[in-house]
Amino acid sequence: MVATSQTTGEGWSSRSAFILAAVGAAVGLGNIWRFPTLAGESGGGAFVIFYIGCVFLLGLPLVLSEIFVGRVGQTDAVGSIRKVAVQSGASPSWSIFGGIGAIAAFLIVSFYSVVAGWVLYYAGVMGWDFLQAIMSGDPFRGALAGESQEQIQQRLGDMFASPGLLLAMHFAFMGLTFYIVARGVSSGIEKAATYLMPAFFVLLLGLVIYGAIEGDIGDAVAFLFTPDWSKLTPQVMNSALGQALFSLSLGVAGLITYGSYIKENSGLGATSAMIAFADTGVAILAGLMIFPIVFAVGLDPAAGPTLVFQTLPFAFQTMPGGALFGFLFFILILVAAVTSSISLLEVPTAWGIGERGWSRPKSSAIFGGGAFLIGIACLLGYNVWADVRPLGFWSLFENTDILDTVDGFTGKVMLPLGALFTSLFVGWKADASLLRTTTGLSPAMFGLWRFLIAWLCPLAVTIILVTGLFPSILGA
Ligand code: PFF
């Protein structure tokens, strides 16, 4: 391949704009839906502590590595890796992993939009309920007044059984994602992040305070921070490692792409640390928001993926102000999901612009449209195609529906592969003085980073990859 990639010429208007956009990319459904679900299922404290270790020893060095590649490359992920490779005297073929990342981001956004569509529907239901509460003169009543627990739970099943409803929500969410990405880096993505992220933090703090006042914060803190090390099985460690990658948006070239819009070298190490801290802080705050509410009503923290859609709406019913805060809760998840989905769609979009010379509207329409179509297959897997098993020939995905197959394949195969290539490339191939001058780390931090990225990351990620693909190794 020849080095023909053109720079897109776009950029962040300031360092803080980049940080907001990158934190927006990292903070998403992974923090507010998946992290509490996994922590709940895995017994709390030991999982949380191990997870934090993964973020700082493994995730943070990878965040800095991706940003480094983008910062030097100044174009889409494939072109950026190629440029760093050429400048470092390495083979330009390393750029293939940027392509794998772009495909992974494209596949992830297809089902991410479907799940965000569920959230959109629940935001609508709760918003309508809150409106009725206002009309009835009792705006601070609990949510979904008059519905039985069965009726509340049934809503999820009814939604899954309705392809039209799922499609409409998926369409609306993907349409919004496309609209923002098509407008460009500064007038679309950056603008969305600068409005939405402050709103997100206000909502999050408001809901944590609400949970602390109305819920059982003591039990939640004990649950999240008291480690029972016997619960830290190899499977739990594996899911914590995988979750750290997903939550920090690693392995899909997302931070390479966002990093390519940085115009000056200013404290890339500190910036990366801020992203990792903010993402982890939000995941823990999400736990501190959700579990007090779950425990206040004596519900099961280990409900799994339905925690947010069945357990919480019921909990909001029994709490004063539940109609209002239930509505705000789903708006909060929606905001987090939008700032992540735009970063996912941006990866293949930037590839189309940089490598194919397409215009931004064309590139985002092609990939947004394609992801929309794959998402339709995912949502049909909940009803008319419920028996379809796309990778049914593979024992790992034997009983896995369409959405979970796309999720599982990207999460278990593509994401760890992307992270493995990143760590090998930056740890062993990238020119040391280029690394040093671009990151501006102190000699001690630089040495630590090089050690973690060259040795610990490849080893840990290989373990995730192998044990993820062959769970029998862990005795599962
Ligand atoms: N980090 C996002 C989340 O936790 O929901 C998901 C994600 C976004 C993954 C962007 C990858 C990415 F490039």
Asked if 335 and 123 count as a contact pair (C-beta separation under 8 A), the reply is: no
Q: Could you give the CA distance from residue 57 to residue 461 in angstroms, rounded to a whole number?
A: 12
User: What are the residue ranges of helices labelled H in 183-321?
Assistant: 191-214, 217-225, 234-247, 254-259, 268-296, 312-318
Pocket test for ligand 1, best of 247, 339, 351 (most atoms within 8 A of CB): 247
Ligand 1 atom index nearest CA of 105: 13
pLDDT in tens, 194-226: 999 999 999 999 999 999 999 999 999 999 999
- Residue 470 above 90 pLDDT? no
Mean pLDDT over residues 84-93, rounded?
A: 98
pLDDT for res 6: 46
Does residue 139 have a pLDDT over 90?
Answer: yes
d(CA 101, CA 472): 27
Q: Looking at residue 3, what is its pLDDT?
A: 38
Ligand 1 mean position to 428 CA, how many Å?
26
For residue 112, what pLDDT is reported? 98
- The per-residue pLDDT for 1 is 36
Provide the whole-model pTM.
Answer: 0.95
Say what percent of the chain tops pLDDT 90. 87
User: Which band of pLDDT confidence, cut at 50, 70 and 90, is reported for residue 409?
Assistant: very high
Instruction: Kindly give the distance from the C-alpha atom of residue 26 to the centroid of ligand 1, in angstroms, as a whole number.
Output: 5
Please give the number of the atom of ligand 1 that sits closest to the Cα of 415. Answer: 11
Ligand 1 pocket check for 344: Cβ under 6 Å:
yes
Please tell me the residue having the least CA distance from ligand 1 atom 7: 249
- pLDDT, averaged across the chain: 94
* Atom of ligand 1 at shortest range from CA of 31: 4
Report yes or no: 200 and 31 within 8 Å, Cβ to Cβ: no
Task: Please classify residue 433 by burial: count the beta carbons closer than 10 Å to its beta carbon, then call 0-12 exposed, 13-18 middle and 19+ buried.
Answer: exposed
Q: Is 30 in the pocket of ligand 1 (CB under 6 A)?
A: yes
The confidence score (pLDDT) of residue 5 equals 41
User: 412 CA distance to ligand 1 centroid (A)?
Assistant: 14
For ligand 1, say whether the CB of 452 is within 6 Å of any of its atoms.
no
Q: What is the mean pLDDT of residues 111-133?
A: 98
Q: Which two tokens stand for residue 130?
A: 């809150």
What distance in angstroms lies between residue 134's CA and the mean position of ligand 1's atoms? 36
- Counting ligand 1 atoms within 8 A of each CB, the residue from 343, 367, 407, 417 with the most, and so the one to mutate, is 343
pLDDT digit string (tens) for 268-318?
A: 999 999 999 999 999 999 999 999 999 988 888 888 888 899 999 999 999
Angle, CA of 356, 189 and 407, to the nearest 5°: 75
339-391 pLDDT, tens per residue? 999 999 999 999 999 999 999 999 999 999 999 999 999 999 999 999 999 99
Ligand 1 contact, 340 CB (< 6 A): yes
Domain ranges of the chain: 15-474
Return the structure tokens found at 133. Answer: 């509460």
pLDDT digits (tens, 9 = 90+) for 50-73: 999 999 999 999 999 999 999 999
Please say whether the beta carbons of 126 and 143 come within 8 A.
Answer: yes
Give the alpha-carbon dihedral of 256, 260, 266, 268, to 10 degrees: 0
Task: Look at 362 and 5; give whichever has higher pLDDT.
Answer: 362
Residues 6+ apart with CB under 8 A from 386: 401
Q: Is the CB of 180 under 6 A from ligand 1?
A: no
pLDDT (0 to 100) of residue 234:
84
Q: How far is CA 166 from CA 32, 159, 377, 420, in A?
A: 21, 7, 11, 35
CA of 246 to the centre of ligand 1 (A): 6
Check pocket membership of 410 for ligand 1, CB cut-off 6 A: no
pLDDT score at 7? 52
| CATH architecture for residues 15-474 | Orthogonal Bundle (1.10)
Q: What are phi and psi of 27, to 5 degrees?
A: -80, 115
Between 257 and 264, where is the model more confident? 257
Whether 2 shows a pLDDT value over 70: the answer reads: no
Query: Looking up tokens 């609306």, which residue turns up?
Result: 172
CA distance readout (Å), 476 to 43, 289, 411: 17, 32, 18
pLDDT at residue 476, as a whole number:
59
258 lines ligand 1 (CB under 6 A): no
CA 75 to each of CA 50, 152, 163, 259: distance values in angstroms, whole numbers, following the listed order: 35, 48, 39, 9
